[in-house]
Structure 1
Amino acid sequence: MSSAISLDGPRSEPANGEAPEKLVILLHGLGADGNDLIALAPLFSQILPEAAFVAPNAPEACDMAPSGYQWFSLQEREPQALHKGAEAARTSLDAFIDQELERHGLEEKDLVVVAFSQGTMIALYTCLRRPNACAGIVGFSGLLIDNGRLDEEIRSRPPIMLIHGEEDPVVPFECMDAAEKTLSACGVPVQTHARPELEHGIDQDGLVMAAGFLQAVFDKELEQG
């Protein structure tokens, strides 16, 4: 793997004013930055007042927009190019996840990842290859980068919720079903939700679903603990 690039971005401390007991990492899409998703922190804080939030800027300047960042280039979208880009980017995201867990004295079971578009791509690619499963992943409007070797490379199987607009002109809606089939075949617990009439974005109903999922995965952890 390539050398890690240090990541950072906007943060939001726990709503209860205490030391974090949970961590939510928010991963933005192509051409955006951490400010794009840190705005979700107040919503999720209502159900996770004990959680800290961080939305790192991706490691590269976007090569398809005058500002913003990218996890890797999408100039070429063939599977091999996507795999190569994601493999390079996951080094930095892996290091960032490790750093943030250590910063707060937390473990993977205390972490959820919420991602949009290209952020979903890198979240799925990275987290499934980490040795320990996080508590859960919510992916909006993304796709699973499938190099045909996920069943060999997968190391953890966190529960996943995928949400996708049926009218998405950027990342085809069909990518959600393709991801579900591949993930399920690899033993990953996955649920999917189609959003009628939604294009490439996140709507209120999707956010409500995501919030419910985050609450459920942490409640399950408490039951097991």
Structure 2
Amino acid sequence: MSKIVNGKSCQPLSGAAPRRIVLLLHGYGSNGADLISIAPMWQQALPDALFLAPDAPNPCDMGMGYQWWPLADLSPDALARGAQNAAGAVDDFITRKLAQYDLTEADLAIVGFSQGTMLALHIGPRRSRQVASIVGYSGMLTGAAQLRDEAVTKPPVLLVHGDADPVVPFAAMADAETALAACGFDVASHAAPGIGHSVDPEGLRLGAEFIARHFAE
């Protein structure tokens, strides 16, 4: 199993030891430096949070950035296998970081973008203890058929997707919401009008509020 060794981080705005962790999982061909840019925009709402944005352990097949798994095959079965194969490295990273800061899954929010959303939605429900929340931007749910049998926990989920996304179909958000709700998850969603494969300010605001609300529960 590959091990995550690189990435970016942003320490708590409070200046104290981390009481929460927000894990940011980047998209295909990107890196942790891209998603850590969210941290300054969320620190006011989450002043006790340590933001971690690791690089995926594998260089991207496209020649730039990193990938959680190859995307040469975009069939549903291949995407489900890819997320499953990539999960081990992220699970190991989560376990190490929670132990390092003496925190539990209740202190963890997992946020993904695109391929990172696929990974977040795979890993979160399969952790042995429930994470505080999952936020998925511009992604999709892989392995929906297996989720009912494999979900160990059912953390609250927020899905955000631009309705002009040319990379991951906008319809993927509704598909994920339907499948998650059918398995008993509490799911919220936001359609971002006119937004492509990116995140708009409203989506970022909703994400911060969603995470902060569920950390407080």
User: For this structure pair, what is the TM-score category when the shorter chain's length is used for normalisation?
Assistant: over 0.9
Give the alignment partner of residue 16 of structure 1, picking from 14, 17, 20: 14
Give the corresponding residue for 2:43: 45
The C-alpha deviation readout for 1:50-92, integer Å capped at 9, x for no partner, is: 111110001211112x210001111101111111111110000
Ranges in structure 2 where 5+ consecutive residues have no aligned partner: none
Deviation at 1:212, TM superposition (A): 1.1
Residue 133 of structure 2 corresponds to residue 136 of structure 1:
yes
Alignment of 1:155 onto 2:152: yes
Partner of 1:179: 176
Map of 2:192 onto structure 1: 195
Q: What is the aligned residue count? A: 217
Contact 1:4 1:95 in 2 (8 A): no
Using the alignment, how far apart are the partners of 1:31 and 1:24 within structure 2? 21
Q: Among 72, 79, 85, which residue is 2:82 paired with? A: 85
Give me the whole-angstrom Cα distance separating, in 1, the residues matched to 2:213 and 2:130. Answer: 16
Q: Contact (CA 8 Å) 1:7, 1:93: kept in 2 or not?
A: no
Looking at structure 2, the residues matched to 138 and 43 of structure 1 have their Cα atoms a distance apart, in angstroms, of 15
How far did 1:128 drift? 1.2
Conserved in 1, the CA contact under 8 Å of 2:4 and 2:55? no
Distance change in 2, residues 1:204/1:95 (3 Å): same
Q: Give the aligned residue type for 1:75.
A: A
Question: Matches of 1:161 and 1:15 in 2, distance apart?
Answer: 24
Opposite residue 59 of structure 2, the aligned amino acid is A
- The 1-side partners of 2:144 and 2:75 are apart by 10
Give the SS at the match of 2:21: strand
8 Å CA contact 2:113–2:138 kept in 1: the answer is: yes
Match of 1:145 in 2: 142
TM-score (norm 2): 0.97
1:148 is displaced (CA, Å) by 1.4
The percent identity for this pair of structures is 45
Instruction: Quote the Cα distance in structure 2 between the aligned partners of 1:134 and 1:34.
Output: 21
Q: 2:108 aligns with which of 111, 133, 136?
A: 111
Q: Secondary structure at the match of 2:145?
A: coil
Letter in 2 for 1:87: Q
Measured in 2, the distance between the counterparts of 1:155 and 1:32 equals: 30
Q: Contact 1:7–1:92 (CA<8 Å) still a contact in 2?
A: no
* Structure 2 CA distance for aligned equivalents of residues 50 and 147 of structure 1: 34
Gaps of at least 5 residues in structure 1 are 221-225
TM-score for both structures, normalised by structure 1: 0.94
Alignment-derived partner of residue 163 in structure 2: 166
The C-alpha deviation readout for 1:139-196, integer Å capped at 9, x for no partner, is 0000000251111111111000000000101000000000011101111111111001
* 1:223 aligned partner: none
What amino acid sits opposite 2:53 in the alignment? Answer: A
Where has structure 1 moved over 2 Å in runs of 4 or more? 3-8
Counterpart for residue 209 of structure 1: 206
Q: Secondary structure at the match of 1:149?
A: helix
Structure 2 Cα separation of the partners of residues 104 and 137 of structure 1: 20
| Superposed CA offset, 1:92-137 (max 9, x none) | 0100110110111100000011111000000101111111111001
Q: Supply the distance in 2 between the matched residues of 1:6 and 1:36 (Cα, whole angstroms).
A: 16
